[in-house]
Structure formats: C-alpha cells, structure tokens
Amino acid sequence: MQLDIVLLGILLLAADAVMAQTLPYRLATFNIRYAATSREQNEKPWSTRGPLVVNQLKDAIAGAPDGAETIIGLQEVLHQQLIDIKTGLGDSWAHIGVGRDDGKQSGEYNPILYRPSALRLLSNVTKWLSLTPDEPSKSWNAGSRRLVNIGIFEHIRSGKRFIAANTHLDNASSEARTKGIKVALQVIKDVQKTWGPLAVSLTGDFNSEPGADAYTTVINDGYFAEVYTTANASQRFGEYDTYTSFDPSRIGQDGTRIDFVWLGPKADQRWEINRYEVLSNVKDSVYLSDHRAVIADVRIVV
C-alpha cells in the first residue's frame, strides 16, 4: 500500500513536470450566424439551430485532449443568443465581450467563452476597429462596427498566463478589413507588451481568404502563424471550407476558408500544434450556421 502511494506521488509529480513545460488548450472559432428575422433559403430559425450549436460546442469541449482547457471565440452572436449558449453550456462558463453597436448589449458580440474554475481572467480589453477604437465606431467605409476582444488569462492550476483574442472583420470594405486588422494587431501587441512575453492566440471570421487583404496583412506583419498552414497534412481533419452559405451544392467542394486560428508571437515559437479540424455545420439536414466551426488542439510552451 505504501509503495502504491509512493508510485502515485511520483506519477503526479511527473504529470506536474510535463504541465510545467507545456499547457494543452483547445481553441475554437465559430461564426454561429445571427438570429435573422429574414432568413435565407435553407436557413432555419435560431430556435431550431441554437440547440444544435450548443450540442456541437458541448461535443467539442468534451472531445478536448486530456487536461486541455477550451477557449471558444464566437462571432455574430446577438445578446439573446449569448444567453441561450451560456445557458446551454451551463453555469461553469463565462464570457468576455460586448455588443458592438453600443459597447453593452446592442448589436453582435464576438465573445470569448471560458471556464473561470480553470482559467482566471486577469484583465480584458475591447477596442473597435476604427480611427476611434475606444468608442463604438466604424471607419474606412465599413458596413458595420467591428471590434476585437482580448482576455489575459491565468491557468489556475499551473499559474501560467496567456492571451486570447477574438475578432470579426468587415464584410463590405477591403480597406476596413486591412486597416481594421492592423488596429487589432497593434492592440494585441500593446497588451502583450504590458503583460510580458506571453503566448497569444487570435481567432475569428476574417471575411478574407488566404492570399487576400486581411489575411495577407497578418502574414506580412509576421507576428502570428496560422494553424492550418503550420500544421502538417496528418494533423488536419475535416473539410477545407469554413464558409458554406446555406447552399447544399457547396458541401464537399473546396472553396472559401475565412475563419482562422492564429498563434503568436511567431518569433518566440511558444506553441506546439497537435490537431486542426473543421467541423460539419449540418446535422440531420439542418444547417447549424452558414459557417463551420474550426478547432485547434495546441500546447503552450512555458
């Protein structure tokens, strides 16, 4: 019996030693499609889609690697949808983020969801992607107000810290996407400078494909690496497209990849990638959204 206790203690110490070197996380990004009053063909109401979205998020959380905490970045979330999702996930989940139209509850959120029992929120920052980032606003012919949410988290068990950011770039203006992501990048760098040399993740719907405006801006900036392109072929699962619209004819066709998980700072190599996956957005012939959720299983090197 005493030997068993000693062996158990050794195993626990070994596990803590591994955790001290790397911390596993599951990062998710999902544009859930706002609850539209005027719906597109094949688009079901939120009352139908919502429970399916919640179930997919639950499955993603449950499927995370052993010991991994899940950080979820969502886009196009109206206030009632946020309530529905948090109710569906349960009381153990919290969020950071505000409605983009008034900085409170009006307009779409792009919230970050996390579990306070495992991750302590040290600080959070919201900035609008405009010439006046401290107030609800838009610039550069943007169709809508857009913002970036940033959370500084501490892994409670290990005491290790990291930064998570989530955004949704404009769909109407290339200039707004390009200049907006520059605002987001600068805010993220400023936060990282304030809090020290921490690992950073950025999730979001960029409305920009690889090689296009905002995507190229991030690549040329050099701060972030994109998970899909960094992962090798054996680590990639699911479809290529992350945006399908509600058109069944697009299922299975290569096309639009606009939802991303980025890791940084690239120069510090603070991340290890284990898995990248694009989830299905159709369940029993019902579209959960016109986007697909993207999952990345990673480890922070600490």
Give the per-residue pLDDT at 50. Answer: 99
Regarding predicted confidence, which is higher, 19 or 276?
Answer: 276
Which tens digit of pLDDT belongs to each residue from 164-190? 999 999 999 999 999 999 999 999 999
Three-state DSSP at 121 gives strand
Give the per-residue pLDDT at 302. Answer: 76
114/61 Cα distance (integer angstroms):
11
Mean pLDDT (whole number) for 206-213: 98
Q: Is a pLDDT exceeding 50 seen at residue 211?
A: yes
178/51 Cα distance (integer angstroms):
35
pLDDT over 70, % of the chain: 92
Exposed, middle or buried by CB within 10 Å (0-12, 13-18, 19+), for 150? Answer: buried
Exposure string over 159-176, b if 16+ CB within 10 A, otherwise e = ebbbbbbbbbbbeebbeb
Provide CB contacts within 8 A for 142, sequence distance 6+.
Answer: 129, 130, 170, 172, 173, 176, 180
Which segment of 3-7, 72-76, 265-269 scores lowest on mean pLDDT? Answer: 3-7
Give the per-residue pLDDT at 5. Answer: 53
Of the pLDDT bands very low, low, confident and very high (cuts 50, 70, 90), residue 8 is very low
As given in the structure block, the two tokens for residue 166 are 């989530």
Strands 271-278, 236-238: parallel, antiparallel or unpaired by DSSP?
parallel
Give the per-residue pLDDT at 14. Answer: 43
From the list 279, 274, 278, the residue with the least C-alpha distance to 298 is 274
Q: Is a pLDDT exceeding 50 seen at residue 11?
A: no
Exposed, middle or buried by CB within 10 Å (0-12, 13-18, 19+), for 255? Answer: middle
184/181 Cα distance (integer angstroms):
5
Omega within 30 of 0 (cis) for the link into 265: yes
Three-state DSSP at 62 gives helix
CA distance between the termini of the chain: 35
Of the pLDDT bands very low, low, confident and very high (cuts 50, 70, 90), residue 21 is confident
Regarding predicted confidence, which is higher, 22 or 17?
Answer: 22
Q: Is a pLDDT exceeding 90 seen at residue 10?
A: no
DSSP 3-state percent helix, strand, coil across the chain (nearest 5)? 30, 30, 40
What's the full length of the chain, in residues? 302
Q: Is a pLDDT exceeding 80 seen at residue 203?
A: yes
From the list 104, 164, 103, the residue with the least C-alpha distance to 128 is 103
Type of residue found at 173: S
- Mean pLDDT, all residues of the chain: 94
pTM: 0.92
Mean pLDDT (whole number) for 6-34: 71
Which tens digit of pLDDT belongs to each residue from 75-86? 999 999 999 999
Regarding predicted confidence, which is higher, 276 or 254?
Answer: 276
256/290 Cα distance (integer angstroms):
11
pLDDT over 90, % of the chain: 89
Could you list the beta-strand ranges (E) of the chain: 22-31, 69-75, 94-96, 112-114, 119-128, 147-155, 161-168, 199-205, 225-226, 236-238, 259-264, 271-278, 282-283, 286-287, 294-301
Which tens digit of pLDDT belongs to each residue from 47-75? 999 999 999 999 999 999 999 999 999 99
